[in-house]
Amino acid sequence: MQRLHPVDVRRYSHIVALADEGSFNAAALRVHLSQPAFSRSIQAAEAELGMQLFVRSGKGIRCTAAGNFVVERLRTLLRASSNLHRDLAMFREGIVGDLHFGMGPVIAAALLAPLLSDMRRQYPSVRVRAVVQHPTVL
């Protein structure tokens, strides 16, 4: 059994690019690498995974059965990685996340409904939890 290595998202994107493009030159252009550097990346990936992912022929490049298996899973992983980066950026900007706060009943009667309405309108992805209690309990 092959030992698993840390995720190299960049190398994984190279594998998917080659599967999509069917050409080392086109895939290298897509990921902004020289063709020799791109070829080394694919060779290193195949060596690391311990399997041939692509069949190289005069007609171009095509995935092996193992390549199809790996590429499908890499697409899922790359999509999740992209979503994570997007979500982290949104969290840093305060667009998503959780907000928990408390207030006394008098202030809540005057402010809570408009505050929650404004929050929902301006930050629909932020989950809000408001606790209304006597100030000594809060």
Does residue 26 contact residue 38 with C-beta atoms inside 8 Å? no
Q: What's the confidence (pLDDT) of residue 96?
A: 82
Does residue 83 contact residue 75 with C-beta atoms inside 8 Å? no
Sign of the torsion angle spanned by Cα atoms 43, 84, 76, 79 = negative
Choose among 73, 69, 62, 74: nearest CA to 24.
62
What whole-number distance in Å separates Cα of residue 72 and Cα of residue 138?
51
Average pLDDT over residues 95-122: 90
DSSP assignment, residue 4? P
- Look up the pTM and report it: 0.66
User: Which of the four pLDDT bands, split at 50, 70 and 90, describes residue 125?
Assistant: confident
60 versus 27: the higher-pLDDT residue is 27
- Quote the tokens at residue 21: 């493009």
Distances (CA, A) of 50 to 4, 14, 63, 64: 11, 17, 15, 13
What whole-number distance in Å separates Cα of residue 118 and Cα of residue 112?
10
